[in-house]
Amino acid sequence: MKKKFVNILFIAAITASVISCKDKAKEAVTTDAEAPVITEAANAETYTVNTDASTIAWTGSKPTGSHNGTIALESGALNVVNGKVVGGSFIIDMKSITVLDIPADDKGNAKLVGHLTNADFFDVEKFPNAAFTITETKVAEGKTMLSGNLTLKEVKNNVTFPVTITNQDDAVTITSEAFSIDRTKWNVQYGSKSIFDNLGDKFINDDIELKITVKAAKS
């Protein structure tokens, strides 16, 4: 009976592991910063980002669980030609980080927000903003792939991830699929077992899952 119970636990653990791997967001292709690919820039129309309707959803995880929240945009604009996004950029307000999985009035919420915004992680007093500049959009394997230079803590890398872009009634919406980035590539190293030894199971995963929604209207 005991052996049967152990076998059941083993199968359950394997199943959970498979599900976890299946649900894990694919890491964005990350390269050195690149120059924007300018196409038909002279004909581009400017669409101003609606910061109230735009957001970045984040999820971070460790062996004992995960946390999630949002980050707001401070400003931004998109360059559009014949309904196609050909460029643009937006500023990310790093001081706006929120935690959604812990009740707002729980002291653990403020503690985690404080940890994420202090020097251990994003050091928002020194680096209050991050930035994303679109370098290219193209179709690959039936998906629209958006590439851009992400600047965080004064480190700039180019990332590419799949998005859906809609254009209706002089409004453009960019919605990404969930994707992840390796935070250590932007010098966010706290609790990383790829940087520090002897962390045991006290590490925090390097990958941060992101899902971006940007809404903009013709200026």
The percent of residues above 90 in pLDDT, for the chain, comes to: 75
Of residues 180 and 200, more confidence is placed in 180
In a domain, 175, yes or no: yes
In a domain, 42, yes or no: yes
In a domain, 156, yes or no: yes
For the chain, the first-to-last Cα distance in angstroms comes to 71
Q: Is the pLDDT of residue 21 over 60?
A: no
In a domain, 11, yes or no: no
Q: Predicted confidence band at 83 (pLDDT cuts at 50, 70, 90)?
A: confident
Indicate the number of domains in the chain. 1
Nearest to 123 by CA among 153, 90, 151, 97: 153
Q: Is the pLDDT of residue 4 over 80?
A: no
In a domain, 19, yes or no: no
Q: Residue 72 sits in a domain of what CATH number?
A: 2.40.128.110
Q: Predicted confidence band at 39 (pLDDT cuts at 50, 70, 90)?
A: low
Range of the domain at 136: 26-218
- Within 10 A of 31 (CB to CB), how many other CB atoms are there? 12
- Within 10 A of 103 (CB to CB), how many other CB atoms are there? 10
Q: Is the pLDDT of residue 101 over 90?
A: yes
Q: Is the pLDDT of residue 7 over 90?
A: no
Three-state SS for 21-82 is: HHHCCEECEEEECCCCCCCCHHHCEEEEECCCCCEEEEEEEECCEEEEEEEEEEEEEEEEEC
Q: Predicted confidence band at 40 (pLDDT cuts at 50, 70, 90)?
A: low
In a domain, 15, yes or no: no
The predicted pLDDT at position 200 comes to: 81
The predicted pLDDT at position 41 comes to: 60
